[in-house]
Structure 1
Amino acid sequence: MDKLSLYTNGNLDALRDRTDPLADQAVVALIQNPELNSIMNSWDQIPGDLPQDWPLELLNFLNFYQEIESKAPVALLKNGQKFFQEKGDLYLAMLGFYSLPYCYAFADGAEVLVRSNRIVNQIGERLGETGSFLLELFRPGAFFTNRVAYWTCAKVRLIHAFSRYFVERYARDWNPDFGKPINQEDLIGTNLAFSLMVLRGFRKMGINLSTQESTTVLNYWHWVGQLMGLEVQFWPVTAKEAFELERLIRKRHLKYSEAGHTLISALIKFYEDSIPDPVLSKQAESIVSFFVGEEASKALGLNQTLSIQGNLLGLLFRFTGFQTYGGKKDFRSIENQFRANQLEQFGKVLQVQLPSLNRS
């Protein structure tokens, strides 16, 4: 079905007022039973037998994942995981240099992010957790022989719902014009940042992708979107649909905001302080500006002080990868290097965790 007719201002306005009821109801139950958060954080995956004395809203949320497992599109998942096996190091690079800055350029969505002290003050840890999330999604066998990724998606979905809960109840400066916190349009935009923007980033570096590869990535994130609470009837399944949807969202929301400027400033400073390769660290702002483009750079207040040629930047990223992995790059080597970097930087391997709740 051609989805282009769905991409109207009226439909997207309606999505800004819709969130994720299944996760929102589960979070209310967790707020009322904070001891369950600690139990759930100890899980490696969602147990097959759930405690039946837990709140019904929480059981409904967890049962969703047990029921959807039988619908896993195995052939698609294998193709997506093969793509990541071959290009996962560059995929992770695009996460930091393109996907996240792209999200920060959308003013209303950035208002939620900036209200998290962890994102501003511990941006390295937050970036590391997002990288760990991505690795779990593309782990070979994820969703069909390895069930851990379901729990990873569920935790991120609950974290979004916790954010909505606390912003709506305690952020006195929240402007209703922003829409609901982490609403359906923002969720779709974030999914586009992790899929369409990554594909664009590859092409900006002169890396040719086949139509099949692009379609595989978009459809992989259609599956992930279902697990993350997106209303996937709006999710694009072709490159043309993705192009048109992103263009409309960009036209609606790409603009300067203090929130976006605060977020991008923290991210650039982290890169300048932590990236070991001086060619990348000293030009972090210019590299981000190159990827997000002139319009988003203006919205973020970025300066591109260095004229960058995409094919040369692609060669630099690939050379850095060759230095790191030699000729044996695969998922395991990418993950091992990622974990080693985290141990060196933070003294631990970062994982997505539900927030600790203390009863007052």
Structure 2
Amino acid sequence: MDLYTNGNLDQLRKRLDAPADAAAADLIQDPQLVSIINSWNIIPETIPETFPDTLRSFFQIFLQPPPLVDPHQIRRTQGFFEINAALILSLLGFYSLPYTYAFADGAEVLVRSKKILDNPGKRLSETALFVLECYRPDAFLGDKNVLLVLAKVRLIHALSRIFIDKYARDWNPGWGKPINQEDMLATNLTFSLLVSRGMERSGVSVSKEQRDGLLQYWALVGYYMGIDPAFLPHTSKEAFELERLIRKRHLKSSPAGKKLVKSLLRFYQQELIRPELAPFMEAILAFYMGGEMSQVLGIHKASLIPDWVFRSLSNSGLFSVGSGPSRFSLLYQQFVIQSKKSLGTAVSISLPSLQ
């Protein structure tokens, strides 16, 4: 039986992330635990006995050996990112992030976050930092920093679900559960399938091995993010089939999606780190999104995009991180400096204060 069917995805819209939701409920009951977790550099090998059982069980997930992985493939994909980091990070802002706004039901979660609407630059920088942490050299092999990052993001999603359930009186059950399994699958694709697709639209050749490597890498990330592993695509064919079905099911114009993309464009045009790109922002988004998605979001290719713009995105990127093979530590440091300069404060991935 075909895995990617309307019936299966209908079920995924009702499914959430039970371990993370239970752990998040514990954090709300004892907000002081948030400060303890935010103080960690890595997840300790022995979880404090003072933690509730559900929170201890949640972190134990990250202390277990990962599913069978190919260390050579992981290192190849990390190297692929390091070489193409400038363009990949640019694609987060010009393709991956606005892509999620074009799906009306999922956009209803995003539009309820004042941080996303009022400070899209912070949201974009946090997403870029998340990607950098995921590609940290030796991540998933020996480096354990990434596991704490993934645990935090997973808990942030769970807290968002709880707050929407408690406070969003206008939530429509027809949209599905907030941050459900199908929406998490779609988001996972934005870091793998959409990155390779966006690179090719930028004129950068991506081999089948590299495309499949990205999918397998983000399938591993998806596993730790609480996505049902059975539905995570590992080949380009599977990813194409899944994305096409999700697009068919959910691509729809909505006030939420248009509000989100206007907020993002306003940030680009007013506060962009690369001001020389500002006049072309809407045209760049329209180029990557394509006609159908651009129409849904109400964006237009109002001007021609000079060739130097794409060269600039490949060479320096949205965050001015530099081009070509480079040491990850230098790349990371450049991003931290540039994002702090833009936002006025250091970007980090931390659980929100609940007190």
Mapped contact 1:16–1:184 kept (Cα < 8 A): yes
| Partner SS, residue 18 of structure 1 | coil
What is the letter of the counterpart of residue 164 of structure 1? Answer: R
1:167 counterpart (151, 164, 167): 164
Q: Distance in 2 between matches of 1:70 and 1:251?
A: 31
Which residue is 2:311 aligned to?
315
> What residue identity is the alignment partner of 2:313?
F
Q: Secondary structure at the match of 1:208?
A: coil
1:356 equivalent in alignment to 2:336: no
Q: CA deviation at 1:336?
A: 1.9
Number of aligned residue pairs: 353
Return the alpha-carbon distance in structure 2 between the equivalents of residues 332 and 209 of structure 1: 25
Given the superposition, is the C-alpha separation of residues 155 and 72 from structure 1 closer, same or farther in structure 2, using an over 3 Å criterion? Answer: farther
Give per-residue Cα distances to partners, 1:72-98, cap 9 Å, x unaligned. Answer: 542232121111111111110011110
Does residue 32 of structure 2 align to residue 20 of structure 1?
no
1:259 is displaced (CA, Å) by: 0.8
- Using the TM superposition, give the Cα deviation of residue 335 of structure 1 relative to its aligned residue in structure 2, in angstroms: 1.4
Question: Does residue 193 of the first structure (1) align with residue 190 of the second (2)?
Answer: yes
Equivalent residue letter for 2:244: R
Look up the match of 2:180: 183
Give the alignment partner of residue 56 of structure 1, picking from 53, 56, 72.
53
Q: Corresponding residue for 1:38?
A: 35
Counterpart for residue 136 of structure 2: 139
Counterpart contact for 2:321–2:335, Cα < 8 Å:
no
Tell me, in whole angstroms, the C-alpha distance in 2 between the residues paired with 1:345 and 1:255. 33
Q: Distance in 1 between matches of 2:204 and 2:325?
A: 20
Please tell me the residue identity of whatever aligns with 2:53: L
From 66, 90, 93, the counterpart of 1:93: 90
- Could you say what secondary structure the match of 2:211 adopts? helix
Pairwise mapping of residues 205-284 of structure 1 onto structure 2 (< 5 A)? 205-284=202-281
CA shift, 1:316, in A, is 3.2
Distance 1:204 1:313, change over 3 A: farther
Shift of 1:164: 0.5
The 8 Å contact of residues 202 and 208 in structure 1, kept in 2 or not, is answered as yes
Shift of 1:236: 1.1
Contact residue 16 and residue 179 of structure 1 kept, 8 A: yes
How big is each residue's C-alpha offset from its partner over 1:248-275, in whole Å with a ceiling of 9 and x where there is no partner?
A: 0001001111111111111111111122
User: CA–CA distance in 1 between the matches of 2:34 and 2:241?
Assistant: 40
More moved, 278-287 vs 51-60? 278-287
d(CA) in 2 for partners of 1:292 and 1:324?
24
Residue 74 of structure 1: aligned partner: 71
Change in Cα spacing, 1:146 to 1:11, as seen in structure 2 (3 Å) is same
Query: Are 2:102 and 1:105 aligned?
Result: yes
Equivalent-residue separation in structure 2 for 1:17 and 1:327 (angstroms): 43
d(CA) in 2 for partners of 1:89, 1:102: 19
| AA of the residue aligned to 1:99 | S
The residue type paired with residue 355 of structure 1 is: P
CA shift, 1:334, in A, is 2.1
Name stretches of at least 5 consecutive residues in structure 2 with no aligned partner: none
Kindly indicate whether residue 264 of structure 2 is the aligned counterpart of residue 300 of structure 1.
no
Q: For residue 314 of structure 2, what is the amino acid of its counterpart?
A: R
> CA RMSD for the aligned pairs?
1.8
Q: Tell me, what secondary structure is at the counterpart of 2:146?
A: helix
Q: CA deviation at 1:190?
A: 0.2
> Shift of residue 169 of structure 1?
1.5
3-state SS of paired residue (1:5): coil
CA drift of 1:157 comes to 0.4
Structure 1 residue 340, shift from structure 2 partner: 1.2
**Equivalent-residue separation in structure 2 for 1:169 and 1:278 (angstroms):** 41
Q: Distance in 2 between matches of 1:277 and 1:67?
A: 42
Please list every run of 5 or more consecutive structure 1 residues that lacks an aligned counterpart in the other structure: none
Task: State which drifts further: 213-222 or 347-356.
Answer: 347-356
Q: Which amino acid aligns with 1:211?
A: K
